[in-house]
Amino acid sequence: MPFSNIRPPKEVYILTSISDAIPARFIVALMLFFACWINYMLRVNMSVNIIAMVPEDKTTKTVESECKAVANDVSLHNDTDITKQLRQPDGVVIFSWTNQEQAYVLSGYFWGYAITSLISGTAAELWGPRRVVFVTMFISAVLTIISPQAARLHYMVLVAVRFFIGLAAGFLFPALHALVARWAPPTEKGRFVSALLGGAIGTVVTWSLTGPLIETFGWDFAFYVPGIIAALWCVAWWFLVYDSPVLHPRISEAEKAYILEAIGDKVHSDSTTKIVPPFKKIFTSLPFLAMIVLHYGNNWGIYFVMTAAPKYVSSALGFNLTSTGTISSLPYLARMIFSLIFGAIGDRIVKRNMVSTTFMRKFFSLFSHVLPGLLLIGLGYTGCAPILSIALITFSMGSNGAATLTNLVNHQDLAPNFAATLYGIANGIGNTAGFVTPLVTAYFTKNGNGFAEWRPVFFTGASLYIIAAVYFILFGTGETQKWNYIEPEEDKRPSASSNDTTITVQVKN
């Protein structure tokens, strides 16, 4: 983890006990990392599981079959015998769902996720992010464990279960961003946000292990194992994480003072104060709308890789099930590695005050959005070169690791006091891409998995990536907005306008 060297300057940090050797915010950052890891285990398992749950039609046209028709040399492909793709213990139930029905199963999670994301940020700010994360993860764990039984009843029952998992999971990331706003000093924010890409490692581990797990025990266990791990993790979360440095019972006074001083007045230090966000100002803020557009373009690219890449690698390129999970996880591993690099670069830029925050956000959108879009366009013209196809998908997702300096942190710039609300709204809108992407992919590939079918899928994702970046470069900003600053009644100060009315919470105009 990149937080192992996080400590306040020597003049304000003195080791007084063994517990002081590990900063409290390092533990918080580590748990944020694993929260995202576990969340993605429960989110992405379906993309590979469904390959084992539903047999592939041998007669369907694929990129691989097109290439075999052109040349006999297919040495770049793994053994693509369909029976090996579906090798499981005897007696395992399989289904005959259509492409459209599979799309509903894959997208069910994101219908629920998009709905609760809209309100989850405000819920985290009002109820406390620690409690919100615990509840959402425990519910998701239980529902994942019962998913095999749901599938056996009917595919729509599984869709409903995935929908409710999404409803619960929609509360997670806004709550985590609320914790980042309260725990991360400005010079460490890039590394904290990088921790929120722990889902990349969760995807790598899940997809890499799913194939062997399915082939050894059957696809049921690809639900049981992640669900049990998530339930056990909830116990550790409750005892290790607190809503703010002020509420943490084991943090040193020196570290607490360092964090609160570094954050300053941009975030209200009393996390127990309940504040209703200024929704009118939020929804009429052009910089916030620009951030939403940037976030949507980012999510479309991510969900393409999450929901469509396993199908493309298995059905189109012809890799076997075990290889599919490993290969499909490579883009997420690349994204995690790149995010750590970009996060460290961003922290260095902030520490040295090299450029404005606005310039940094706009410049790095070239890496997080424009470059991935161009690589997806190239993917449409790779021809009979599966290794090149995989490389382009991997580097497209890897370059998107720069999102730690663009859409994944811009809401912290605009209004750290309402970071959870802003991210929740943006994530709710952005995650509609999660259920649209499988439907778009199913539409274009309904007649096969050849070049002509997949090329429009790639071009659609590339267009949204690039258009979103251009819009943000024109209208986005990294400046803190005036409506971020709050003033509790007990700390009344003279207002710039004699017409301001002080209520329980006053918002400066």
Yes or no: say if 400 and 341 are a contact pair by the CB < 8 Å rule. Answer: no
Residue 459 and residue 312 share a domain: yes
How close are the terminal C-alpha atoms of the chain, in Å? 41
C-alpha dihedral, 266 to 271 to 276 to 282, nearest 10°: 30
Sign of CA dihedral 255, 259, 262, 264: negative
Residue 78's identity, in one-letter code, is: N
Choose the most confident range, by mean pLDDT, from 28-42, 262-276, 341-355, 479-493: 28-42
The pTM of this model reads 0.66
What pLDDT, on the 0 to 100 scale, is given for residue 479? 93
What pLDDT digit, counting tens, does each position of 247-259 carry?
888 888 888 898 8
- pLDDT of the residue at 364: 95
Locus of tokens 């040349």: 71
The answer on 381 and 420 residing in a single domain is yes
Would you put residue 110 in left (φ > 0), alpha (ψ -120 to 50) or beta?
alpha
For the chain, how many structural domains are there in total?
2
Evaluate if residue 63 carries a pLDDT over 70. Answer: no
Of 40-49, 180-189, 429-438, 484-493, the least confident? 484-493
pLDDT beyond 70 at 315: no
422 and 384 within one domain: yes
Same domain, 285 and 431: yes
**Helices (H), ranges, 277-385:** 279-283, 286-303, 309-311, 321-352, 357-365, 371-379
pLDDT per position as a tens digit, 114-135: 788 778 888 887 888 999 999 9
Q: Is 21 exposed, middle or buried (0-12, 13-18, 19+ CB in 10 A)?
A: exposed
* Within a domain: 499: no
Beta bridge partners of 449: 62
- Please give the Cα distance from 337 to 16 (Å, whole number): 35
Residue in this structure with the two tokens 């070239």, named with its chain if needed: 366
Which residues make beta-bridge pairs with 488? 505
What residues contact 36, with CB distance under 8 A and at least 6 apart?
173, 176, 195, 196, 197, 198, 199, 202
Distance from C-alpha of 171 to C-alpha of 117, rounded to nearest angstrom: 6
Q: Which residue would you say has higher pLDDT here, 74 or 186?
A: 186
Assigned domain for 500 exists = no
Q: What is the pLDDT of residues 170-210, one digit of tens each?
A: 899 888 988 888 888 888 877 787 788 788 788 788 877 88
Tell me whether residue 426 is in a domain. yes
Give CA–CA dist 15/13, Å, rounded: 7
Together in a domain, 37 and 160:
yes
- Joined together, the tokens standing for residue 464 give 């949204």
Mean pLDDT of all residues belonging to the chain: 80
Residue 144 pLDDT more than 60? yes
- Coil/strand/helix, residue 488: strand
Residues with Cβ within 8 Å of residue 333, at least 6 apart in sequence: 200, 201, 204
How big, in percent rounded to 5, are the helix, strand and coil portions of the chain?
70, 0, 25
Question: Token pair 């989850």 is at which residue?
Answer: 120
How many other CB atoms are found less than 10 A from the CB of residue 301?
28
pLDDT band at 17 (very low <50, low <70, confident <90, very high): very low
Asked whether residue 191 falls in the same domain as residue 323, the answer is no
* 123/319 Cα distance (integer angstroms): 43
Nearest alpha carbon to residue 393 among 324, 480, 475, 486: 324
Task: Assess whether 381 and 479 both reside in one domain.
Answer: yes
pLDDT of residue 240: 92
Tokens 């996880």, located at residue: 329
Quote the pLDDT of residue 76: 41
- CATH label of the domain that carries residue 344: 1.20.1250.20
Contacts of 498 (CB under 8 A, 6+ apart): none
Please give the residue range of the domain that contains residue 173: 10-56+93-265
264 pLDDT above the threshold of 80: no
Asked if 285 and 256 sit in the same domain, the reply is: no
Predicted confidence (pLDDT) at residue 312 exceeds the cutoff of 90: no
Closest-CA residue to 81 (of 115, 58, 59): 58
On whether both 311 and 430 belong to a single domain, the answer is: yes
Same domain, 255 and 286: no
Instruction: Let me know: does 264 contact 406? Beta carbons within 8 Å.
Output: no
DSSP string, 443-456: HHTTT-BSHHHHHH
Answer whether residue 62 is part of any domain: no
Three-state secondary structure along 399-425? HHHHHHHCCCCHHHHHCHHHHHHHHHH
* Whether residues 370 and 424 fall in one domain: yes
Q: Are 113 and 170 in contact (CB under 8 A)?
A: yes
With residue 236 as reference, give the H or E element that holds it. helix 221-240
Return the amino acid letter for 347: D
Q: Looking at 74-88, 120-134, 264-278, which range is the least confident one?
A: 74-88
CA-angle at 307, arms to 48 and 434, nearest 5°? 140
Residue 147 lies in a domain: yes
Largest CA distance in the chain: 82
Q: Residues near 39 by Cβ (< 8 Å), separated by ≥ 6?
A: 137, 140, 169, 172, 173, 199, 202
Spatial separation of the C-alpha atoms in residues 215 and 218, rounded to whole Å: 6
Residue 79 placed within a domain: no
Asked if 175 and 313 sit in the same domain, the reply is no
504 found inside a domain: no
Top-ranked range on mean pLDDT: pick from 81-95, 98-112, 153-167:
153-167
User: What letter would DSSP give residue 449?
Assistant: B
Considering the domain boundaries, does residue 488 fall inside one?
A: no
